[in-house]
């Protein structure tokens, strides 16, 4: 992915302002009201990865409903996500019938279980599946390749819409959020820092309505659509502010948009 030049219009006071907001929102108390609370219920790496991936997948809409339904997903898996993924039988998959979160339904959920089993059994797990195609500057090519692996077994066509693809113009908000959860480790206790094979420097900010609107108001983003090209622009400007940990600013952009109506 080609890099854009930093936005020279960035106000020098913006960095200090954002750093202050990162400190305000990147704290343990943030977890309870966020979908990241779902993987925080677990200690086994694979349980955290799977619970996090499922929670991130349905992370759109009302946050309380996201958390409620993500908890329901974990409960349907017997509160042992990795064991369920690896050892499920057809009878156990029937437990998932009737699950729905917006357009994500039990058919999608059932396929996700099978695809995750394939990744752990045949592709050395989630970290390896993402890390294999990471570049020196971006995780977006890796997300594209991950999607190909994820849908490499027989699957319902409808389910493909639940995994974003940057090469098709998607900002892949939910996958970029998931990668932040798994990769970042700043000792604040929110993100897990489980995946040591991927550098935080190449992560991308989860771009949605809230973060996009705040970024535009701060001069960090000019493109109007929240798509892959906008993400590239935002990446460039956030990496200009902090080359080593650009996605820490997700806490600032999200907090300003959701909690402060910025």
**Percent of the chain at pLDDT above 90?**
92
Ranking 8-17, 107-116, 207-216, 249-258 by mean pLDDT, the lowest is 8-17
Q: Which of 99, 116, 172 is nearest to 142 (CA)?
A: 172
Kindly state the tokens that stand for 54.
Answer: 């499922």
Residue 225, class by beta-carbon neighbours within 10 Å (0-12 exposed, 13-18 middle, 19+ buried)?
exposed
Q: What is the mean pLDDT of residues 144-170?
A: 98
- Looking at per-residue pLDDT, the higher value among 125 and 12 belongs to 125
pLDDT value of residue 11: 75
pLDDT score at 261 = 82
Q: Which of 11-25, 36-50, 77-91 has the lowest mean pLDDT?
A: 11-25
pTM for this prediction: 0.95
- What is the average pLDDT value for the chain, to the nearest integer? 95
Distance CA 52, CA 35 (A): 8
* CA–CA dist 144, 225 (Å, integer): 20
6, pLDDT greater than 60: no
Q: Which residues of 13-46 are buried (b: 16+ CB within 10 A; e: fewer)?
A: ebeeebeebbeebbeeebeeebbbbbbbebeebb
Q: What percent of the chain has pLDDT over 70?
A: 97
Q: Are 249 and 238 in contact (CB under 8 A)?
A: yes
User: pLDDT by residue (tens digit) across 171-229?
Assistant: 999 999 999 999 999 889 999 999 999 999 999 999 999 999 999 999 999 999 999 99
Please say if the pLDDT value at position 5 is more than 80. Answer: no
Spatial distance between the Cα atoms of 201 and 136, rounded to a whole number of angstroms? 9
Nearest-angstrom CA–CA distance, 247 and 206: 8
């Amino acid at each position: 992915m080609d890099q854009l030049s930093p936005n020279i219009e960035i106000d020098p006071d913006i960095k200090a302002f954002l750093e202050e907001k990162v400190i305000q929102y990147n704290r343990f108390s943030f977890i309870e009201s966020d979908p990241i609370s779902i993987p925080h219920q677990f200690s086994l790496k694979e349980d955290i990865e799977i619970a996090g991936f499922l929670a991130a997948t349905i992370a759109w809409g009302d946050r309380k409903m996201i958390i409620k339904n993500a908890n329901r997903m974990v409960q349907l898996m017997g509160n042992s996500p990795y064991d369920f993924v690896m050892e499920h039988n057809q009878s156990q998959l029937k437990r998932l019938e009737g699950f729905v979160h917006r357009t994500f339904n039990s058919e999608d959920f059932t396929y996700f279980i099978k695809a995750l089993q394939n990744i752990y059994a045949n592709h050395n797990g989630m970290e390896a599946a993402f890390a294999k195609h990471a570049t020196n500057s971006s995780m977006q090519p890796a997300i594209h390749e991950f999607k190909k692996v994820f849908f490499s077994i027989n699957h319902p066509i409808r389910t493909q819409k639940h995994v974003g693809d940057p090469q098709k113009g998607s900002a892949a908000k939910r996958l970029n959020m998931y990668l932040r959860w798994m990769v970042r480790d700043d000792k604040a206790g929110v993100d897990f820092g489980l995946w040591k094979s991927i550098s935080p420097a190449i992560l991308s900010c989860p771009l949605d309505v809230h973060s996009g609107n705040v970024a535009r108001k701060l001069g960090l983003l000019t493109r109007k659509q929240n798509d892959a090209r906008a993400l590239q622009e935002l990446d460039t400007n956030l990496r200009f502010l902090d080359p080593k940990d650009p996605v820490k600013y997700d806490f600032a952009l999200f907090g300003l948009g959701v909690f402060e109506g910025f």
